[in-house]
Structure 1
């Protein structure tokens, strides 16, 4: 019997989950760039995406890959394995890990600035790429713009951002039109200025930066109290 590729990926990720030291610790991700580090946490509410990202990080899958697509006031995208040592004229964005991850849409996880989300193709199930991701830069929305977006979201997906989420979109900023379409599975808790620096770099008409923007990605299990103390991230009570 042929074992599905996704099942193989999840079985490979199982040892990663089994090694989690305790509920008092979480996995802190660091994405290093020439503009400095971004530090991120991964949400427990999206366990398949969290396990997969930890697995790839521990395998050093992302080291040497590029942020191959950047759009200022929108997002920065990376994780295409074809981007490693890619010549300047190569079109990027189609590389994958050989599997997809089922969508894990959680209404309270949304596309605020700094959100970590999974890229995908146009598959009808909205399954995520096994490796490509993006970090939201977005922008601040005024009342009229946000109302237009929320009405559109409600028509398409039968839901609207909460008042608290609207407040974030109007202050911190983000990309509300992506909500419910792509899985959000983490967030930047330190280094939002790095997202801004990457997003403003010159790019070609296909949004590939003119200069290669390489990353290395590492992680470590750390006490949640220490994460809160160092970076100010406050865990929800149910985490």
Structure 2
């Protein structure tokens, strides 16, 4: 069953579809919408050629200039990455979250979301991103292996065993290379490449934030919102309000 909702804003209506493959995010968003949780909230963070963000309950009736973006229910949602099937193309609906330093499992905010605008990319730019993704994969695997050998590393350091540390590091590097070969090099699919070079989006967010839906109608409204003037905290100068979100 397709779940479609209308986000009624002061700039016009945006029709979204929620993905069944991300049931935790779908059901949570639908429940909050039915409860009227989003009614009167603002698109409190807007960055041109990037995205528009809403869902902060603290934005209701917030005075001009107030910094927003930390509000939400007292829970987070486990990440539901369905990648590369769902990615950050223009119009993607994704869950906001705190950074990896305090949120290594990349759990989503209980209510805050963003709609992607982004920009179009040249094929050469995507190739460069693939190389960066490859380096990131190598670093993440190496860090995981090092974490597994934490006690051994600490013992070698306490004993000032430089030769042992070097040998362990060499072994971890070889194991990292082996696992990377098994995983294969990260690469954009043909669908992603087509979308990012023609429609646009934010490929650098892929597999980092949960994409749980997309805009079906009203991209012109998203475009107007992402063009609006903002203050130094990326809050629109003139409030852009979500009047309600209703099930279609």
Provide the TM-score with structure 1 as the length reference.
Answer: 0.80
Check if 1:219 corresponds to 2:235: no
Structure 1 match to 2:35: 59
The DSSP-based 3-state class of the residue aligned with 1:187 is strand
Query: How many pairs are equivalent?
Result: 197
Residues 17 and 214 in structure 2, CA contact (< 8 A), matched pair in contact too: yes
What displacement does 1:205 show? Answer: 1.1
Q: Deviations over 1:86-118 (max 9, x none)?
A: 111211001011100000011111000000000
The structure showing larger relative contact order (alpha-carbon pairs under 8 Å, at least 6 residues apart) is: 2
Distance in 2, Cα, partners of 1:153 & 1:60: 39
Structure 2 match to 1:142: 122
Residues 202-217 of structure 1: pairs in structure 2 closer than 5 A: 202-217=229-244
Segments of structure 2 that go 5 or more residues without pairing to the other structure are: 138-184
The DSSP-based 3-state class of the residue aligned with 1:91 is coil
Segments of structure 1 that go 5 or more residues without pairing to the other structure are: 1-24, 222-239
Aligned partner of 1:160 among 183, 187, 209: 187
Provide the TM-score with structure 2 as the length reference.
Answer: 0.77
What displacement does 1:217 show? Answer: 3.2
Q: Deviations over 1:207-234 (max 9, x none)?
A: 011011101333335xxxxxxxxxxxxx
Distance in 2, Cα, partners of 1:154 & 1:51: 34
Pairwise CA RMSD of aligned residues?
1.2
Structure 1 match to 2:90: 113
Aligned partner of 1:124 among 93, 97, 104: 104
Structure 2 match to 1:185: 212
The DSSP-based 3-state class of the residue aligned with 1:180 is coil
Residues 29 and 217 in structure 1, CA contact (< 8 A), matched pair in contact too: no
Q: Deviations over 1:31-66 (max 9, x none)?
A: 111221110000011000000000001001001000
Check if 1:85 corresponds to 2:61: yes
